[in-house]
Amino acid sequence: MTRGDILYSGKAKTIFLSEKPDELIVSFRDDITAFDGGKKDQLEGKGASNAGVSAFLFGLLEEAGVRTHFIRMEDPITMRVRKLNMIPLEVIVRNRAAGSIVRNYPFTEGQYFNPPIIVTDYKDDTRHDPMLNDDIIVALDLLTHEEIDAVKASALKVNRVMKAFFDGIGLDLVDFKIEYGRYGDAIMLGDEISMDSMRLWEKGTMKSMDKDVYRFEKGDVMEAYHAVSARITGSR
């Protein structure tokens, strides 16, 4: 693997150029942050845990016909991906109420949403990721109305595939955030799908197995992350 200059260093990953102009190298670091970077730590093994789960889920989604940026793992923390022109949207799918939707609206924690709710936030930490509606997305030139429909249909498919998978390993997929980017004329799934970007509750107990353990100091974060990785590995 040839790793070139750093293209971007975010809160949890560093993106490097590769020897190919249309491919990037993503390094998953052990950094963990919450509350717009207000809470920060380093947890040994966190990068590898998230990279492994992301790679697995991208593979599962590709098998189901969802196009993703994933090419292959180069080592346990290093992923080779297609270089996308990222669309600054956080597409959030919610099967149950938790987090900001409970803080901002009169929903009860754990309440089921059937059909699932899709929320689109503007990815901009300085503005605290404000929620968008379709007209604002079009006015900002992020997507056309037709592309919004396609992205929402894709997000619901991602939800169906992942929810069924997690059901099978005793975990409830409460909600998750995904990001899309442009690759030529195509729009495909980028970034990561990991315990940092999903809420997973143990079935029956509603015990958090995701970044909420870190956000709200609910216990040993890495124990939760390793438990999810182990269940996934055990399912293969």
Q: Which two tokens stand for residue 148?
A: 């919004």
Q: Is 38 exposed, middle or buried (0-12, 13-18, 19+ CB in 10 A)?
A: exposed
Shortest separation between residue 186's beta carbon and ligand ADP, angstroms: 12
Among 129, 172, 175, 179, which residue interacts with ligand ADP (rule: CB under 6 A)? 179
The Cβ-side half-sphere exposure at 79, using a 13 Å CA radius, reads: 29
Contact 29, 43 (CB under 8 A): no
- Residue position matching structure tokens 């790679």: 55
Q: Which is nearer to ligand CDP, 18 or 95 (CB)?
A: 95
What is the pattern of x (binds ligand ADP, CB under 6 A) and - over residues 51-90? ------------------x-----------xxxx-x----
Does the protein bind ligand ADP through residue 191 (CB under 6 A)?
yes
80, interface contact from ligand ADP, ligand CDP, none, CB < 5-8 Å by kind: none
- Exposure pattern of 162-200 as b/e (b: 16+ CB <10 Å)? bbebbeeeebbbbbbbbbbbebeeebbbbbbbbbbbbbb
Does the protein bind ligand ADP through residue 47 (CB under 6 A)?
no
Does the protein bind ligand CDP through residue 187 (CB under 6 A)?
no
Q: Which residues are near ligand CDP by CB under 6 A?
A: 90, 92, 99-101, 129, 175-177, 197-199, 211
